[in-house]
Amino acid sequence: MKRKAKAMGATHSSSHSASSAAGPSASQGDLFPVPLEILEEIFLNLPPDQVVRVCRLVCRQWGEVADSESLWRERCRREGYRLHKASRIPKDWRLFYFLCKKRRNLLKNPRGDHKMKNWQILENGGDNWKVEGVMAPHPNETVQQNFVTSYGMCRKSQLIDLAAEGYNPSFMDHFQPDIKVSDWYAPRWDCGSQYEIRVELLNQRKKPIQTFAPETVFFEQWNDHPWTLMTHVFQNYGPGVRFIRFTHGGKDTQFWAGWYGIRVTDSCVEISPAMDT
């Protein structure tokens, strides 16, 4: 019995020594302890969702690297997401990265693929708004439909709730990312028409903080104007932006029955981080 006890004691002692030799990281539950810079480089080459949802749960060391500021700051640098000079340094680089990466068109049904769905009709003059196939080829071949106005004023609008789209107030106030607006418009060749657009950055009470409202564009009859892109970028607009209201429209200027007014399509509003070129 004494010999057995000594053998057991020796085994316990040997195990304790091996554990001590492995260092503190192994004793704290690290599955595959590797140098942090190597682990970070591995994570930089994995899909970001996998890093967050899988890798950070493997062990303590992996979790610390997956949550580290240096990892997400470097990921932003490599993928071209940068801050304006006037912007403050992010408190959470991972949040900044994912919000930049989710860049997309915040307007719903921008080409009329679902008729007038998602649009609020503000004015429906003449023979009202209509959706039709593009009369002239659009620079973007995937655009096959457009909205068209009539002989009375036609205006439609969308209100974008930024928080509902995943852009929380802290992000908008802290980073003030670029807000890029674009809209394609074109007249008929055989009828005069007019086009207008108004985009407003609104606060919590839906009061304007900043507005883009260029002069109305007029086209004469017998013109050969192709599709034209109207663009604007909101920058340094200050804190408090919670909604964006996009409004556009127009009419024909000769009061012809039917749909001879301005055409609009492929409108876009996106939260657009400044990109390296």
Per residue in 41-50, pLDDT tens?
999 999 988 8
Cα distances from 136 to residues 58, 187, 192, 258, 270, in angstroms, run 56, 10, 16, 18, 26
* Counted domains in the chain: 3
Check whether residue 80 and residue 159 sit in a common domain. no
List phi, psi (to 5°) of 233. Answer: -125, 120
In a domain, 47, yes or no: yes
**Ranges of H-type helices in the chain:** 2-21, 24-27, 36-44, 48-53, 60-66, 69-79, 93-101, 169-175
Identify the CA nearest to 192 among candidates 255, 146, 135, 126. 255
46 and 126 share one domain: no
Q: H-helix or E-strand containing 243?
A: strand 243-252
Note the pLDDT of residue 273: 65
Q: Domain check: are 124 and 260 in the same one?
A: yes
Domain boundary among 46, 64, 96: 96
Both tokens of 6, joined, read 């000594």
- Residues 81 and 61 placed together within one structural domain of the fold: yes
The owner of tokens 């921008």 is 110
| Cα gap 9→12, rounded to integer Å | 5
Measure the CA–CA gap between 147 and 228, rounded to whole angstroms: 15
- C-alpha torsion angle, residues 220, 222, 224, 225 (rounded to 10): 20
What CATH number is given to the structural domain containing 43?
1.20.1280.50
Residue 273 CA to residue 103 CA, distance in Å, equals 8
C-alpha span between 195 and 215 (Å, rounded): 9
Helix 93-101 / helix 69-79 crossing angle, nearest 10 deg? 30
What pLDDT was estimated at residue 35? 84
Of 213, 202, 122, 116, residue with least CA distance to 160: 202
Residue 181 lies in a domain: yes
Question: Structural domain of residue 214, as residue ranges?
Answer: 120-272
Where residue 224 sits, what CATH number does that domain have?
A: 2.60.120.260
Residues 16 and 37 in one domain: no
Residues of the chain with pLDDT under 70: 1-33, 84-89, 273-277
pLDDT value of residue 183: 98
In a shared domain, residues 266 and 138: yes
Lookup: tokens for 201: 């950055």
Question: Is 129 in the same domain as 256?
Answer: yes
Q: What is the pLDDT of residue 221?
A: 95
User: How far apart are the C-alpha atoms of 51 and 49, rounded to whole Å?
Assistant: 5
Task: Identify the pLDDT of residue 91.
Answer: 73
Q: Give a yes or no: residue 277 inside a domain.
A: no
Two structure tokens written together for 115 = 């008729």
Q: Are residues 89 and 11 in the same domain?
A: no
Interatomic CA distance for residues 160 and 246, integer angstroms? 8
In-domain check, residue 105:
no
Q: Which residue has the tokens 């071209």?
A: 80
pLDDT score for 19:
38
Please report whether residue 204 resides in a domain.
yes
Q: What is the DSSP letter of 89?
A: P
The 3-class secondary structure across 188-235, one letter per residue, is CCCCCEEEEEEEEEECCCCCEEEEECCCCEEECCCCCCCCEEEEEEEC
Q: Are residues 245 and 155 in the same domain?
A: yes
Establish if 249 belongs to a structural domain.
yes
Q: What's the predicted TM-score (pTM) here?
A: 0.75
Whether residues 182 and 205 share a domain: the answer is yes
